[in-house]
Structure 1
């Protein structure tokens, strides 16, 4: 056994409670054949199920195509690429698969995954990446082929969908190959196959033999999803995907063996997970916006299947979707960029249009259509119109959604959004690393900041980089250094134990949050593990009547440490060095970053640095592009303070505004400006949110002090 794999198993075992160890031991016994498996139930004969369209209706799809011709053209282009066996996943180039698809062959590297019992395939520690082949085997292109048939009436699209199902079944017997590795892949695949088969049943060319084999696939998938469902420390979006596959297939195909039992217990698990995965404030528990969207999309698809059948969805699912909608609507207003955070593998629950990534606005539009909420100002997109029309006026009859807030405080998810009246959106991360105990999809980004001005991203999250193929990218993009926060002694705040495992996470304490005045005061203990402990505290001061902000950092320590304050920028940004900072221009907006510290600083700017793994942003998984990463590096003994002033440059007459900071036992004093135009911030260290602003003319602004929100 390789040393890295042994270390991973040790760390993973330590994260488990005794009940999980016993449960996993039972699964291993079943895999080894020590426990007899239940005999598969007898399948119903083909042709005995429901023969009306479900979710995908030809009239609705054609109406959506007329309403959204550009999106329909993209659907047809994606369907033609599927006809030609050309597939593009993540940031990789399109890959031609030849006249016959080999469902085990990954064309980018030429690797062929073995067609052996799935339990014998170890994908974690080899040199190959399973993500591309898993994406192909999810068969999420099948609903797009069905839509192309409905739009054009050309049977070549639906014939291709049938042929791909026939081919896949021939190459992937249950329990064999990479496609059957784990219940999650079976669950995600079952959702797309279920929607596709219900449409194929209304096609006169469907072969009864194929129909029977696909029903068998769904039955075996439901068995696998339940038997190998993700529990205990693995109960994250994987459990939702597994139970979503069971629920959707059971609802759409009641003739499946044990469908009533499977539906009931899958819905029970999903109802419980709805309260766990979508927190009381509407944020996702995994601290990943992508997996939040995926989880909410699975809940939405299950609700849509129930509504299509004429049944009310569980209150827990409706409540979770309502909470989620309020959070997401407050996070991303129309015209704003999406502030991705945490891992992002571009997962879909169901693909109904040709978008490369699932956007927040697309999810909210689909949510409005299924829940019966009023259309948003932007209206439906193609997928939402398909769902709205396919349900034929039936909805979940949910209560009105809460209106999106201008600002946002998510105490459970740990995110604060501060907006200005002039077009600034500032996000501050004051939350946990991820879903306990392993925080698989979290990044070491405590107290990090992202910034949008007028809908244009300026300071960004660097993205995910890679999962398996480029392991150095994986480590770099989730490390503290890549994010807009403070790194101490070239170490991350949290301690990794594997690609999807953290052994120690930084714990954030929110000392004070006041969105009305634009103040966040928080600290984390990630560096208190050092021999000379360091406590990092950050104040973000961004009043709603100002476009800019001040970010003040204090690291309390006794000994000497190396501090790096970084600001990862959009790949569109240009950077010019200034005497005390940088001039950043993005989207035609010049923004001045000015630095000051209690010790002399070294100003740096990195772009596309492979050696330091700095100066990159990742727009898609397995893709990254050079982008400026600016900031300062310094060494200091004892308490260290730093301030970054981020201000828009409104014209050539805008004067430079140097900043300086001094620290004493009981206060920080920040001065910004020169001559008679100096603003002073006095920050009391003993209290929470004790910030007083004094204008240059001596005028004292109202203190930014209110009862703390923790």
Structure 2
């Protein structure tokens, strides 16, 4: 206790009340969860939603409680609203979905791995470690004494592959994809009761799972082979996910993509249960928090405060998805919020190299909210699909020019009406020139096929490190048709703490090393996302 008090008093005076408030909120949330556990029975779920009669009657009643989802799948049947893809693109979807049928997955640089007939949802298939099916609060999620990576089971249980199965189903009408969807979900329920096991250990991943399960419903809802009983259990589980997220928010005095993911998960679930008391509460809370987090997490120039181009994409994807859902449900966000989101996309436009790829500043774990095309899944360093979405939302011809085309990912988010609006925009607007982002500390030079990006910003997460690196004054250089000088990127988190620190060290970046020392102290042990706020680059004009 004395140590904790000393640690608190070491913080800047202005931060202490915020930290105390967060600690109190978290303690209250823990007490609330013990008194009112997120998991509720099917009987109580039916009563809260006013359901009665047969499973089909209840399912019909639940459908009346929904808000509007993304326009590509919300109205009519999915088979009536297919994106205009070529034969090769459709075949790529089918090939990818068939790999899922064979339980072949690839995460975090693993390469394709076949998981066998029965998936072990608690296993890191890269290291072989299996977490026991104990209450999540009793699990040791991160163990630096071995080479395990808890993100592997978390990534698998995000269920982002369901969108691949769903798209294959609507293009082929083949029931085998629906059967795989049902089999996986039922097996996951049996192996992962609420609050038990590794897959409840990170609220962010619970929220992303809920978002992807919501997408899956819209892809498979017209499938006649799926029984009403299954869908009723499905909505029951989603409702429990919402209660779990609300009770386990990843709060902090300084917040990042984890907390934002929690909030966006509540947006998806709030829309799904829009006409229920819980859904209205989730939506109201999420709307207020989105406004607050845009102001907190994104600098006025549009740069996310985590100082990572990869996480910039994730945060933009989270905000964009929420904005589209709010627009479809006539929920307004402030003009200041929208202007800052537009600035985020300006940053994306400017940091994109002439070949469409990004500079590799900061951490990268390929994090996404949802993956709605094989192209964006495979080309992880191409963020131009975000600009296609932004072109439509903000009526920006220059975003259209930078995007190049209306990507499949954009079609699923905006539908055919969005595609038509995109096509109506002129293919004009100037290519990005040299531009500075003083708040976030990034500077870019563009001239024809010459490009340079310089990091002159603060340590990530407002001085805490987070997903930033010891890369002050580091740069990338692109000439002709290739990157000549590249950032080192990031390839490991907890599986190898020494390698983790090596990739975020001064020595790994394109900077001068003075006396063989780090420019700022890197956290060790479990502090692998900590960097001392000791290296502050300064712009001299």
Normalised by the length of structure 2, the TM-score is 0.84
Aligned to 1:508: 537
Aligned to 2:445: 418
Q: Residues 115-171 of structure 1, C-alpha deviation per residue, up to 9 Å, x if partnerless?
A: 111112222344221011110010111111111111112121122122222221121
**Superposed counterparts of 1:318-467, under 5 Å:** 318-354=338-374, 355-356=377-378, 357=380, 359-371=382-394, 373-374=396-397, 375-376=400-401, 378-389=404-415, 405-421=432-448, 423-467=449-493
Deviation at 1:93, TM superposition (A): 1.7
**Is the 8 Å Cα contact of residues 83 and 416 (structure 2) preserved in structure 1?**
no
Bigger relative contact order (CA 8 A; separation at least 6): 2
**Superposed counterparts of 1:465-614, under 5 Å:** 465-497=491-523, 498-512=527-541
* C-alpha distance 393-442 of structure 1, shift in aligned 2 (>3 A): closer
Pair 1:111-2:111 in alignment = no
Deviation at 1:442, TM superposition (A): 0.6
**Superposed counterparts of 1:208-223, under 5 Å:** 208-223=228-243
Q: Name the CA distance, whole Å, in 2 between partners of 1:395 and 1:124.
A: 47
Q: Secondary structure at the match of 2:126?
A: coil
**Is the 8 Å Cα contact of residues 233 and 438 (structure 1) preserved in structure 2?**
no
Q: Name the CA distance, whole Å, in 1 between partners of 2:189 and 2:81.
A: 28
Structure 1 stretch 376-385 or stretch 73-82: which is displaced more? 376-385
**Superposed counterparts of 1:609-620, under 5 Å:** none
Aligned to 2:19: 20
**Is the 8 Å Cα contact of residues 284 and 292 (structure 1) preserved in structure 2?**
yes
**Is the 8 Å Cα contact of residues 54 and 198 (structure 1) preserved in structure 2?**
no
Aligned to 1:557: none
Count of aligned residue pairs for this structure pair: 501
Pair 1:200-2:220 in alignment = yes
Structure with larger Rg: 1
Deviation at 1:389, TM superposition (A): 2.5
Q: Name the CA distance, whole Å, in 1 between partners of 2:300 and 2:242.
A: 30
Deviation at 1:370, TM superposition (A): 4.9
Deviation at 1:464, TM superposition (A): 0.7
Q: Secondary structure at the match of 1:185?
A: helix
State the Cα RMSD in Å: 3.1
Pair 1:78-2:78 in alignment = no
Match of 2:154 among 113, 123, 134: 134
User: Structure 1 regions of 5+ residues with no counterpart?
Assistant: 1-6, 513-710
Q: Residues 432-483 of structure 1, C-alpha deviation per residue, up to 9 Å, x if partnerless?
A: 0111242211100111121000231111110112001122210101000010
Structure 1 stretch 47-56 or stretch 465-474: which is displaced more? 47-56
**Is the 8 Å Cα contact of residues 26 and 251 (structure 2) preserved in structure 1?**
no
Deviation at 1:309, TM superposition (A): 3.7
Normalised by the length of structure 1, the TM-score is 0.65
Aligned to 1:50: 63
Deviation at 1:195, TM superposition (A): 1.5
Q: Name the CA distance, whole Å, in 2 between partners of 1:460 and 1:60.
A: 45
Structure 1 stretch 13-22 or stretch 213-222: which is displaced more? 13-22
Match of 1:87 among 105, 124, 127: 105
Q: Name the CA distance, whole Å, in 1 between partners of 2:476 and 2:452.
A: 6
Deviation at 1:101, TM superposition (A): 1.4
Greater helix share, structure number: 2
**Is the 8 Å Cα contact of residues 466 and 474 (structure 1) preserved in structure 2?**
yes
* C-alpha distance 452-340 of structure 1, shift in aligned 2 (>3 A): same
Q: Name the CA distance, whole Å, in 2 between partners of 1:191 and 1:316.
A: 26
Aligned to 1:623: none
Q: Name the CA distance, whole Å, in 2 between partners of 1:313 and 1:119.
A: 36
Q: Name the CA distance, whole Å, in 1 between partners of 2:132 and 2:503.
A: 31
* C-alpha distance 136-379 of structure 1, shift in aligned 2 (>3 A): same
Q: Name the CA distance, whole Å, in 2 between partners of 1:17 and 1:117.
A: 32
Q: Name the CA distance, whole Å, in 1 between partners of 2:321 and 2:113.
A: 29
Deviation at 1:499, TM superposition (A): 0.6
Aligned to 1:569: none
Match of 2:186 among 140, 154, 166: 166
Q: Residues 487-514 of structure 1, C-alpha deviation per residue, up to 9 Å, x if partnerless?
A: 12222111122211123331122112xx
Q: Name the CA distance, whole Å, in 2 between partners of 1:146 and 1:8.
A: 49
Deviation at 1:229, TM superposition (A): 1.6
Q: Name the CA distance, whole Å, in 2 between partners of 1:83 and 1:390.
A: 29
Q: Name the CA distance, whole Å, in 1 between partners of 2:421 and 2:214.
A: 20
Q: Name the CA distance, whole Å, in 2 between partners of 1:215 and 1:32.
A: 26
Q: Residues 503-532 of structure 1, C-alpha deviation per residue, up to 9 Å, x if partnerless?
A: 3331122112xxxxxxxxxxxxxxxxxxxx
